[in-house]
Amino acid sequence: MKMMRLSCLLAAASLLLLLAGCWDREEIDERTSVVAMAIDKAKDLPGRLRLSIQIPISKRIAGAGAAKSSGGGKEAVIVMSSTGYTMAEATRNLQKRLNQELFLGHTRVVAISEEVAREEGLDTVIDALRRTPQIRRLLWPVIVKGEALSVLTSNPKLEQIPIMFLMDLLTNNSKTETIPDVTLGTFFINLSDSSREPGMNIVQATKDEIKWIGLAVFKESKMVAALSPQEVVPLLQIRDEKRGGIISVPCEKNSKLQVSYQPKSIKTKKQIVNSRGKKTVQVQVALEGDITESQCRIDFTKQENIKKFQQLFEKSMEERAVKLLTKVQKEFKQDVFGFGTLDRAHSRHWSHEKWKKEFPSLKTTVRYEVLIRRTGMEVWTK
């Protein structure tokens, strides 16, 4: 009996050897890693997409090759393109031109042309990305003004691998709360949420520069409008409870000289009030921050001057917020603020179709409260 037990244990232990090791391993230098993808409509090929990829050349990034490619990564990467009726077909056509297997696990940016986003929508693109297990949910999807390929061929001078410049630009600015934090996973969540409409960052690329220029507004999976950087600030403050950017107001009425204020903390309160069957969204935004620049001679040691500019900043932000709300409700008719989430939480029989009809005529009130904590050092000259 003991011998039988021992035999069974030895047999079981020997089976464990089969589970050890990397049975499906692939050597890093035996696959082609993609760091960025760009999707455009194929010219002169109706119904087809053009998929472009940026591939880093490892031998030119490190060692002696680094000195040559340190001027912006011109020789450190290669850009390839192929076409297909679907993303999968275009990827397979690219694979036929490579001696190693394509690996998408290191992809950091997916760039989509504005033309594709507006005319075709993102159903095909999103479906392909969602079904590909290698694709990370933390990568950055962006809409590109013009050709998406321009992002891959742009040559910023600050990075060896050009697309890393864009990734760092988006990551760092989202951390400082000046642009929306829209990763692929966030876009998936917002796209499937019937109480709000998704958005995506917009960038523009030239030969040696890539810059963020706003936020794309979607109706389901199609881009329908774009918000400017100035319009994104109140959106960030109201929807995401993020500080936004620098706020500037004139020193005096009709003056060209400005005073700038940098929010350091923010607290946003939103609620829907239902009175006699009529809904009103009430928004309160409290900002605390510092005076970062004053182009005019103002004595901020006097409390009346502090209060004066607090009121000026409040008025400026309220006007910007009301203007954006009016534009979103009357022109776009899309709930980019996510007010539907508030309404759904207090309604037993909430309907997306009903909310879409209510939103354009929904009454909204916005109130800002600005507190100046620090005014900085001032030097008075005679």
Question: Residues near 61 by Cβ (< 8 Å), separated by ≥ 6?
Answer: 69, 76, 160, 161
Task: Evaluate whether residue 207 is within a structural domain.
Answer: yes
Please check whether residues 76 and 175 belong to one and the same domain. yes
Q: Please report, for the domain that includes residue 349, its CATH number.
A: 3.30.300.210
Say if residue 80 is in the same domain as residue 214: yes
Q: Please say which residue of 194, 227, 260 terminates a domain.
A: 227
What's the pLDDT at 11?
A: 75
Structure-block tokens of residue 95 = 């694979």
> What average pLDDT does the structure give for the chain?
90
Q: Is residue 13 part of a domain?
A: no
**Res. 378 pLDDT band, cuts 50 70 90:** confident
Does one domain contain both 259 and 151? Answer: no
The reply to whether 207 and 286 lie within a common domain is no
Q: Is the same domain home to 75 and 174?
A: yes
- In a shared domain, residues 281 and 342: yes
Q: Is the pLDDT score of 23 beyond 60? A: no
Output the pLDDT for position 73. 43
Residues 203 and 183 both lie in one domain:
yes
What pLDDT is stored for residue 29 in this prediction? 63
Give Cα separations from 27 to 78, 135, 175, 360 (angstroms): 21, 19, 34, 55
Would you say residue 64 has pLDDT above 50? no
Q: Treating both helix axes as pointing N-terminal to C-terminal, what angle do 123-131 and 87-95 enclose, rounded to 10 degrees?
A: 60
Q: Are residues 207 and 170 in the same domain?
A: yes
Q: Is the pLDDT of residue 222 over 70?
A: yes
pLDDT for 377 equals 81
β-strand pairing of 258-275 with 278-294: antiparallel
Identify whether 11 is part of a domain: no
User: What's residue 101's pLDDT?
Assistant: 92
Of 204, 227, 250, which one is at a domain's C-terminal end?
227
Number of structural domains (the chain) is 2
If asked whether residues 207 and 240 sit together in one domain, one would say no
Q: Would residue 166 count as lying in a domain?
A: yes
> Are 255 and 269 contained in the same domain?
yes
- Domain identity same for 252 and 137: no
Assess whether 204 and 324 both reside in one domain: no
60 pLDDT above the threshold of 80: no
Last residue of a domain, one of 186, 204, 227: 227
SS3 192: helix
| Structural domain that includes position 211 | 28-227
Cβ atoms 324, 235 nearer than 8 A: yes
